[in-house]
Structure 1
Amino acid sequence: MAYGYIGTMRTVQDHRDEVVRILLSGTQGLRAAGCLLYVVSVSDSDSELIHVTEVWQSREHHDASLRLPETQAAIAQAMPLLTGEFTREELTVVGGLGLA
Protein backbone atom coordinates (compact mmCIF):
# COMPACT_ATOMS: atom_id res chain seq x y z
CA MET A 1 0.00 0.00 0.00
CA ALA A 2 1.06 3.56 -0.65
CA TYR A 3 2.10 6.08 2.00
CA GLY A 4 0.03 9.22 2.47
CA TYR A 5 0.87 12.46 4.19
CA ILE A 6 -1.46 15.36 4.87
CA GLY A 7 -0.02 18.43 6.53
CA THR A 8 -0.84 22.03 7.21
CA MET A 9 1.43 24.99 7.76
CA ARG A 10 0.70 28.52 8.85
CA THR A 11 2.51 31.40 7.19
CA VAL A 12 3.38 34.75 8.64
CA GLN A 13 0.86 37.38 7.58
CA ASP A 14 0.77 38.18 3.85
CA HIS A 15 3.28 35.47 2.83
CA ARG A 16 0.94 32.60 1.94
CA ASP A 17 1.18 33.11 -1.83
CA GLU A 18 4.97 33.23 -1.65
CA VAL A 19 5.12 29.95 0.28
CA VAL A 20 2.69 28.36 -2.19
CA ARG A 21 5.02 29.38 -5.04
CA ILE A 22 7.96 27.81 -3.22
CA LEU A 23 6.03 24.58 -2.60
CA LEU A 24 5.00 24.32 -6.24
CA SER A 25 8.38 25.30 -7.70
CA GLY A 26 10.05 21.95 -7.08
CA THR A 27 7.46 19.53 -8.37
CA GLN A 28 9.33 18.47 -11.53
CA GLY A 29 11.40 15.78 -9.81
CA LEU A 30 8.74 14.42 -7.50
CA ARG A 31 7.47 11.64 -9.77
CA ALA A 32 10.99 10.29 -10.28
CA ALA A 33 11.42 10.35 -6.49
CA GLY A 34 8.37 8.10 -6.03
CA CYS A 35 5.58 10.64 -5.59
CA LEU A 36 2.19 9.60 -6.93
CA LEU A 37 0.23 12.70 -5.90
CA TYR A 38 1.24 16.14 -4.62
CA VAL A 39 -1.44 18.77 -4.05
CA VAL A 40 -1.02 22.19 -2.45
CA SER A 41 -4.24 23.88 -1.30
CA VAL A 42 -5.09 27.08 0.54
CA SER A 43 -7.84 27.60 3.07
CA ASP A 44 -10.85 29.67 2.03
CA SER A 45 -11.47 30.69 5.64
CA ASP A 46 -7.91 31.29 6.90
CA SER A 47 -5.63 33.55 4.88
CA GLU A 48 -2.42 32.11 6.37
CA LEU A 49 -3.15 28.37 6.17
CA ILE A 50 -1.74 25.98 3.54
CA HIS A 51 -2.61 22.28 3.18
CA VAL A 52 -0.31 19.78 1.46
CA THR A 53 -1.57 16.35 0.44
CA GLU A 54 0.94 13.77 -0.76
CA VAL A 55 0.86 10.13 -1.81
CA TRP A 56 4.14 8.25 -2.21
CA GLN A 57 5.08 4.74 -3.29
CA SER A 58 6.35 4.23 0.28
CA ARG A 59 7.35 6.12 3.39
CA GLU A 60 10.97 5.48 2.42
CA HIS A 61 10.41 7.33 -0.87
CA HIS A 62 8.93 10.27 1.02
CA ASP A 63 11.76 10.36 3.54
CA ALA A 64 14.38 10.17 0.78
CA SER A 65 12.73 13.08 -1.04
CA LEU A 66 13.29 15.29 2.00
CA ARG A 67 17.04 14.80 1.58
CA LEU A 68 17.15 15.94 -2.05
CA PRO A 69 19.12 19.19 -2.57
CA GLU A 70 16.16 20.93 -4.24
CA THR A 71 13.87 19.94 -1.37
CA GLN A 72 16.38 21.17 1.19
CA ALA A 73 16.68 24.48 -0.68
CA ALA A 74 12.89 24.95 -0.79
CA ILE A 75 12.59 24.20 2.93
CA ALA A 76 15.32 26.74 3.72
CA GLN A 77 13.58 29.35 1.59
CA ALA A 78 10.12 28.74 3.12
CA MET A 79 11.00 28.37 6.81
CA PRO A 80 11.44 32.11 7.56
CA LEU A 81 7.96 32.69 6.11
CA LEU A 82 6.27 30.16 8.44
CA THR A 83 5.06 30.62 12.01
CA GLY A 84 6.10 27.15 13.18
CA GLU A 85 2.50 25.96 13.51
CA PHE A 86 2.26 22.64 11.67
CA THR A 87 -0.04 19.65 11.68
CA ARG A 88 0.63 16.28 10.09
CA GLU A 89 -1.18 13.04 9.53
CA GLU A 90 0.43 9.92 8.13
CA LEU A 91 -1.86 7.52 6.30
CA THR A 92 -2.00 4.19 4.51
CA VAL A 93 -3.55 4.96 1.12
CA VAL A 94 -5.94 2.25 -0.06
CA GLY A 95 -7.09 3.78 -3.36
CA GLY A 96 -9.04 6.53 -5.00
CA LEU A 97 -9.48 8.62 -8.09
CA GLY A 98 -6.25 10.02 -9.53
CA LEU A 99 -3.99 7.25 -8.25
CA ALA A 100 -2.57 4.64 -10.57
Structure 2
Amino acid sequence: MTLERRSFLAGAAALGVAAPAAAAAPAGPMYGMVGKMTAKPGMRDALAAILVEGTAAMPGCLSYVVANDASDADLLWITEVWESKAAHAGSLALPAVRAAIAKGRPMIAAMETVAETAPVGGAGLR
Protein backbone atom coordinates (compact mmCIF):
# COMPACT_ATOMS: atom_id res chain seq x y z
CA MET A 1 0.00 0.00 0.00
CA THR A 2 1.33 3.45 -0.87
CA LEU A 3 1.79 5.69 2.14
CA GLU A 4 0.47 9.22 1.99
CA ARG A 5 3.49 11.46 2.69
CA ARG A 6 1.71 13.72 5.20
CA SER A 7 0.27 10.75 7.08
CA PHE A 8 3.69 9.09 7.23
CA LEU A 9 5.35 12.26 8.47
CA ALA A 10 2.68 12.71 11.11
CA GLY A 11 3.06 9.14 12.35
CA ALA A 12 6.81 9.29 12.29
CA ALA A 13 6.78 12.38 14.46
CA ALA A 14 6.21 10.05 17.41
CA LEU A 15 9.71 10.25 18.80
CA GLY A 16 8.80 10.06 22.45
CA VAL A 17 6.49 11.61 24.95
CA ALA A 18 7.32 15.27 24.68
CA ALA A 19 7.91 17.48 27.64
CA PRO A 20 4.97 19.68 28.57
CA ALA A 21 4.81 23.08 26.96
CA ALA A 22 6.12 26.13 28.75
CA ALA A 23 3.98 27.54 31.53
CA ALA A 24 2.42 30.18 29.29
CA ALA A 25 -0.12 28.38 27.13
CA PRO A 26 -0.70 29.94 23.73
CA ALA A 27 -4.14 31.20 22.80
CA GLY A 28 -6.15 29.27 20.28
CA PRO A 29 -7.32 25.72 19.92
CA MET A 30 -5.13 22.73 20.57
CA TYR A 31 -4.71 20.25 17.71
CA GLY A 32 -4.94 16.48 18.03
CA MET A 33 -4.59 13.44 15.83
CA VAL A 34 -5.23 9.74 16.21
CA GLY A 35 -3.21 7.59 13.83
CA LYS A 36 -3.31 3.90 13.01
CA MET A 37 -0.04 2.33 11.86
CA THR A 38 0.29 -1.27 10.72
CA ALA A 39 3.77 -2.74 10.89
CA LYS A 40 4.97 -5.39 8.52
CA PRO A 41 4.47 -8.83 10.13
CA GLY A 42 6.67 -9.30 13.18
CA MET A 43 8.05 -5.74 13.10
CA ARG A 44 5.67 -3.92 15.47
CA ASP A 45 8.03 -3.86 18.46
CA ALA A 46 10.96 -2.57 16.41
CA LEU A 47 8.77 0.09 14.81
CA ALA A 48 7.35 1.15 18.17
CA ALA A 49 10.90 1.47 19.54
CA ILE A 50 11.81 3.84 16.70
CA LEU A 51 8.70 5.90 17.35
CA VAL A 52 9.39 6.34 21.06
CA GLU A 53 13.15 6.85 20.96
CA GLY A 54 14.83 10.10 20.14
CA THR A 55 14.12 13.56 21.35
CA ALA A 56 12.91 14.37 24.84
CA ALA A 57 10.81 17.24 23.52
CA MET A 58 9.26 18.49 20.34
CA PRO A 59 8.31 22.18 20.46
CA GLY A 60 4.57 22.54 20.92
CA CYS A 61 3.91 18.85 21.62
CA LEU A 62 1.79 18.35 24.73
CA SER A 63 1.32 14.59 24.45
CA TYR A 64 2.48 11.82 22.11
CA VAL A 65 1.49 8.27 22.96
CA VAL A 66 2.40 5.14 20.99
CA ALA A 67 0.34 2.08 22.00
CA ASN A 68 0.14 -1.55 20.90
CA ASP A 69 -3.28 -2.73 19.75
CA ALA A 70 -4.63 -5.32 22.20
CA SER A 71 -5.85 -7.73 19.52
CA ASP A 72 -3.71 -7.17 16.41
CA ALA A 73 -0.03 -8.10 16.75
CA ASP A 74 1.01 -5.75 13.94
CA LEU A 75 -1.03 -2.65 14.82
CA LEU A 76 0.05 0.53 16.64
CA TRP A 77 -2.11 3.49 17.69
CA ILE A 78 -0.56 6.95 17.89
CA THR A 79 -2.39 9.66 19.82
CA GLU A 80 -1.00 13.17 19.81
CA VAL A 81 -1.92 16.59 21.17
CA TRP A 82 -0.21 19.78 20.04
CA GLU A 83 -0.46 23.41 21.12
CA SER A 84 -1.66 24.17 17.59
CA LYS A 85 -1.88 22.74 14.09
CA ALA A 86 1.10 24.95 13.18
CA ALA A 87 3.21 23.38 15.96
CA HIS A 88 2.40 19.95 14.56
CA ALA A 89 3.33 21.04 11.03
CA GLY A 90 6.61 22.49 12.30
CA SER A 91 7.55 19.20 13.94
CA LEU A 92 7.66 17.53 10.55
CA ALA A 93 10.81 19.48 9.68
CA LEU A 94 12.79 18.41 12.77
CA PRO A 95 15.97 16.44 11.94
CA ALA A 96 15.10 13.76 14.51
CA VAL A 97 11.67 13.29 12.91
CA ARG A 98 13.21 13.01 9.46
CA ALA A 99 15.69 10.42 10.77
CA ALA A 100 12.86 8.38 12.31
CA ILE A 101 11.02 8.47 8.98
CA ALA A 102 14.02 7.06 7.16
CA LYS A 103 14.56 4.37 9.78
CA GLY A 104 10.92 3.34 10.22
CA ARG A 105 9.58 3.51 6.67
CA PRO A 106 10.74 -0.02 5.67
CA MET A 107 8.82 -1.49 8.64
CA ILE A 108 5.45 0.07 7.83
CA ALA A 109 2.80 -1.84 5.87
CA ALA A 110 0.08 0.83 6.12
CA MET A 111 -0.92 3.92 8.03
CA GLU A 112 -3.79 6.32 8.21
CA THR A 113 -5.00 9.31 10.14
CA VAL A 114 -8.11 8.02 11.85
CA ALA A 115 -9.18 11.40 13.22
CA GLU A 116 -8.12 14.99 13.63
CA THR A 117 -9.39 16.43 16.89
CA ALA A 118 -9.66 19.70 18.81
CA PRO A 119 -8.73 18.70 22.38
CA VAL A 120 -10.43 20.74 25.09
CA GLY A 121 -8.35 19.58 28.07
CA GLY A 122 -7.42 16.65 30.23
CA ALA A 123 -4.63 15.31 32.41
CA GLY A 124 -1.38 17.01 31.43
CA LEU A 125 -3.01 19.43 28.98
CA ARG A 126 -3.60 23.13 29.37
- What TM-score do you get using the length of structure 2 for normalisation? 0.73
Separation (CA, whole Å) in 2 of partners of 1:76 and 1:97:
32
Whether the aligned pair in 1 keeps the contact of 2:44 and 2:75 (CA below 8 Å) is yes
Correspondence for 1:26: 54
Go from structure 1 to structure 2 and tell me whether the alpha carbon gap of 1:17 and 1:27 turns closer, same or farther (over 3 Å shift): same
Give 4+ residue runs of structure 1 displaced > 4 Å after superposition: none
Go from structure 1 to structure 2 and tell me whether the alpha carbon gap of 1:72 and 1:48 turns closer, same or farther (over 3 Å shift): same
> How far 1:99 sits from its partner (Å)?
1.2
Q: Which amino acid aligns with 2:68?
A: V
Show structure 1 runs of 5+ residues with no match.
Answer: none
Separation (CA, whole Å) in 2 of partners of 1:27 and 1:84:
24
Greater strand proportion: 1
- What TM-score do you get using the length of structure 1 for normalisation? 0.91
Correspondence for 1:93: 119
Separation (CA, whole Å) in 1 of partners of 2:116 and 2:37:
15
Show structure 2 runs of 5+ residues with no match.
Answer: 1-28
Correspondence for 2:92: 66
Correspondence for 1:17: 45
Identity level (%): 42
Correspondence for 2:36: 8
Whether the aligned pair in 1 keeps the contact of 2:55 and 2:96 (CA below 8 Å) is no
| Larger RCO of the pair (alpha carbons < 8 Å, separation 6+) | 1
Separation (CA, whole Å) in 2 of partners of 1:27 and 1:5:
20
RMSD: 1.1
> How far 1:76 sits from its partner (Å)?
1.0
> How far 1:29 sits from its partner (Å)?
2.5
